Structure 1
Amino acid sequence: MSREAAQAAEVVAGQFARNREVVEALAASLRAAPPPFVVTCARGSSDHAATYAKYLFETQLGIVTASASPSVGSVYEAPLRLEGALFLAISQSGKSPDLLRNAEAARAAGARVVALVNVEDSPLAALADWVLPLHAGPERSVAATKSYLASLAAVLQLGASWSQRPDLVDALARLPDALREAWHCDWSAACDGLVAARNLFVLGRGMGLGVAQEAALKFKETCGLHAEAYSSAEVKHGPMALVGPGFPVLILAQPDETEAGTVALAREFRACGAQVWLAARQAPADAGIALPVADAPHPACAPLLLAQSFYRMANALSLARGYDPDRPPHLNKVTETV
């Protein structure tokens, strides 16, 4: 897990170069015939990448993006009205039967199917109209790291090319170096504090919500630690009642319009006696233990940097708690659901 996560900067740089032509061609087709909406379809870490796609496309392109439940198409076999829509299927293996059935149904319904896959000769890639390879290379750890970051990067490159926003396009060239910086951010304070934990919240918001979801999954998967992810807005609609003295909370602040509210929430949790770790550009002393963050070339790049710093800490925490981060119990690298 550690070695594979550390490769992310090189993976992303290579992906941007190798996918440039196909991304530009796809983006041009989307500008020429704009889809009425975007639908994502994925599971696990790939679905957390889909959460990122939702916020990126909605904030940078103004196009409504919704998540399709795979079971609607695969189990219920309910036809959906997707004429003209962009159907974005995200999968590392491209083999899961439920995603394949949904992609087939979407294409039959008149949607443009785009597959983000790490296995270029997969069944999902074969039936898609467009394929954006992740180019992450072999990933042997069950816990996805570089392939997750490659999924975010593919979404980011497509969003930048589609929107033609100069600030977003310019940020792509600087992202690999920022990922290298993020890998060396020292989050050992969180690792040390969570060795004996049994439960925690992971909070994010907006474009950073998907990374909070991914972090919570990795805590469960690699550390045997029950973690729940919430939007820093949604957590106040009930879950915050669980928080008391010593309750651990990891807060990932997205450096955009949501940042001030997220930092204010960290202060609220600290006032309740919670044990708070705050990853933010500036973490006030009364908002918890500060975790350093890499400088993001654009707010849309920040989720990738936060995930990269988190992965190094999660690997260390897994080992400290006596787990093997590469071989979680009961799990396989390729999950095929119906």
Structure 2
Amino acid sequence: MTDAQPGALMTAEIDQQPGMLATIAEHRADIAAVAADIARHRPRFALLAARGSSDHAAIYAKYLIEVLLGLPVGLVSPSTTTLYGARPDLRDVLVISVSQSGGSPDLLEVTQAARDAGARTVAVSNTRSSQLFSAADLAVDIRAGQENAVAATKTYTATLLTLYLLVDAIRGGDGGAVADIGERAETTLRDSADQVSHAVDRFRFADRVIAAARGYSYASALESSLKLAETSYLQTHAYSGADLLHGPVAAVDEETAVLGMTSAGRGGEAMGDVLRAVGERGADVLAVGSAASSMPAALRIDVPETAEEVAPILEILPVQRLALHLSLARGGNPDNPRGLHKVTKTR
């Protein structure tokens, strides 16, 4: 396989993730040092700033911080700073800017403005040479290595793991829940191959896909929706399972494919009624996660069980493979989706 073949880059970068995740888990001293600084400053609350896949990682971090640290968390609307010039009082506030490339001008401006307003700022990025790193008080390198495919895969999971290790270290944890994350990632990719292939056969003719989840896995639903849209040009939408039942379920029918993230834990358990409801409306339901085998779904992709807060790092892996092979089956090139660029510059 050469880089000229459609999907070669995305395939290679998906396959690099077990080794990359193991390395991040083993070398967490830099993350722990940043965590110690944050713990000393005892922030009143936290704000997260991000775009695209990084925004989904930030939503994952929102759940981590609220549940594991007991701090209120908000998501920054960058345009309030970049377009409207808002400058709220951010004294004693933790602001974490997440950007895989570190090249987003709006996140740079948000970070600089937050620091000027008294926040303790942290940049989480894959690019140590970026302006974002120098703009923040503290910086964490996600250590994913260069990513060439337009669709983010390894940078996304590296960001998730980095954010988990950061939050876990702030609460005094030692990262024990992810000590074997590399092995579990390898098992996930190896053992899900046939199930992914079956799902591709069923989903390749779909035009409308809904991704849904509860809790920590809501980030996985959002990322799944984005991956399927940008690689296969599908009409996709992501919902909290609770929100899906509060109205949008009325639009679900036999022409709808539903991807439900269902890892073991409270969030996954809450998805049973959601998947049952969409299945009764005729949807083609695919359950992904460590609790998939117990879900009312026609298709399942199993993932090794972990602590619930760690599950999003693993459950997205087979969905990346699904997006890759769906794109190829539909005649696309997931390495270079039409009209997309690796870094999107907004303000």
TM-score of the two chains, using structure 2 as the length reference: 0.93
Q: Does 1:258 align with 2:267?
A: yes
Q: Does 1:235 align with 2:256?
A: no
Report the Cα distance in structure 1 between the residues aligned to 2:295 and 2:25, rounded to whole angstroms: 40
* CA displacement 1:101-134 (0-9 Å, x = unmatched): 0000000011111111111010000111111101
**Aligned position for 2:187:** 181
Aligned 8 A contact 2:293 2:302 in 1: no
Amino acid at match of 2:21: V
* 1:278 aligns with one of 283, 287, 305: 287
Report the Cα distance in structure 1 between the residues aligned to 2:335 and 2:221, rounded to whole angstroms: 21
**Aligned position for 1:204:** 213
Report the Cα distance in structure 2 between the residues aligned to 1:308 and 1:200, rounded to whole angstroms: 18
**Aligned position for 2:4:** none
How do 1:238-249 and structure 2 match up within 5 A?
238-249=247-258
Report the Cα distance in structure 2 between the residues aligned to 1:306 and 1:297, rounded to whole angstroms: 10
Structure 1 alignment gaps of length 5 or more:
none
**1:181 offset after TM fit, Å?**
1.2
Report the Cα distance in structure 2 between the residues aligned to 1:83 and 1:139, rounded to whole angstroms: 36
**Aligned position for 2:222:** 213
Q: Do the aligned partners of residues 286 and 137 (structure 1) sit closer, same or farther apart at CA in structure 2, a change above 3 Å counting?
A: closer
SS in 2 for 1:203: strand
**Aligned position for 1:70:** 78
**Aligned position for 2:5:** none
* 1:35 aligns with one of 27, 43, 55: 43
Report the Cα distance in structure 2 between the residues aligned to 1:74 and 1:246, rounded to whole angstroms: 41
Q: Do the aligned partners of residues 286 and 111 (structure 1) sit closer, same or farther apart at CA in structure 2, a change above 3 Å counting?
A: closer
**Aligned position for 2:108:** 100
Amino acid at match of 1:100: L
**Aligned position for 1:308:** 317
**Aligned position for 2:305:** 296
Q: Do the aligned partners of residues 286 and 47 (structure 1) sit closer, same or farther apart at CA in structure 2, a change above 3 Å counting?
A: closer
Structure 2 alignment gaps of length 5 or more:
1-9
**Aligned position for 1:337:** 346
**1:217 offset after TM fit, Å?**
0.6
**1:280 offset after TM fit, Å?**
3.8
Amino acid at match of 1:181: T
Aligned 8 A contact 1:84 1:110 in 2: yes
**Aligned position for 1:323:** 332
SS in 1 for 2:179: helix
SS in 1 for 2:344: coil
SS in 1 for 2:266: coil
**Aligned position for 1:113:** 121
Report the Cα distance in structure 2 between the residues aligned to 1:141 and 1:149, rounded to whole angstroms: 15
* CA displacement 1:223-257 (0-9 Å, x = unmatched): 11111000011111111010122421110113211
Q: Do the aligned partners of residues 14 and 207 (structure 1) sit closer, same or farther apart at CA in structure 2, a change above 3 Å counting?
A: same
Q: Do the aligned partners of residues 331 and 246 (structure 1) sit closer, same or farther apart at CA in structure 2, a change above 3 Å counting?
A: closer
Aligned 8 A contact 1:223 1:314 in 2: yes
Seq. identity, % = 36
SS in 2 for 1:292: strand
**1:285 offset after TM fit, Å?**
7.6
**1:286 offset after TM fit, Å?**
7.5
**Aligned position for 2:199:** 190
Alignment coverage as a number of residue pairs:
335
**1:192 offset after TM fit, Å?**
1.2
Amino acid at match of 1:21: A
C-alpha RMSD of matched pairs (Å): 1.5
Q: Does 1:142 align with 2:156?
A: no
**Aligned position for 1:7:** 16
**1:295 offset after TM fit, Å?**
1.6
**1:283 offset after TM fit, Å?**
4.2
* CA displacement 1:132-160 (0-9 Å, x = unmatched): 10111111100000001111011011111
Q: Does 1:26 align with 2:14?
A: no
**1:214 offset after TM fit, Å?**
0.6
**1:284 offset after TM fit, Å?**
6.0
**1:165 offset after TM fit, Å?**
4.2
* CA displacement 1:161-204 (0-9 Å, x = unmatched): 111246xx211211111111111213222211111111110001
Aligned 8 A contact 2:46 2:94 in 1: yes
Amino acid at match of 2:335: D
Report the Cα distance in structure 2 between the residues aligned to 1:15 and 1:284, rounded to whole angstroms: 30
Amino acid at match of 2:346: T
Report the Cα distance in structure 2 between the residues aligned to 1:264 and 1:83, rounded to whole angstroms: 43
Aligned 8 A contact 1:120 1:133 in 2: yes
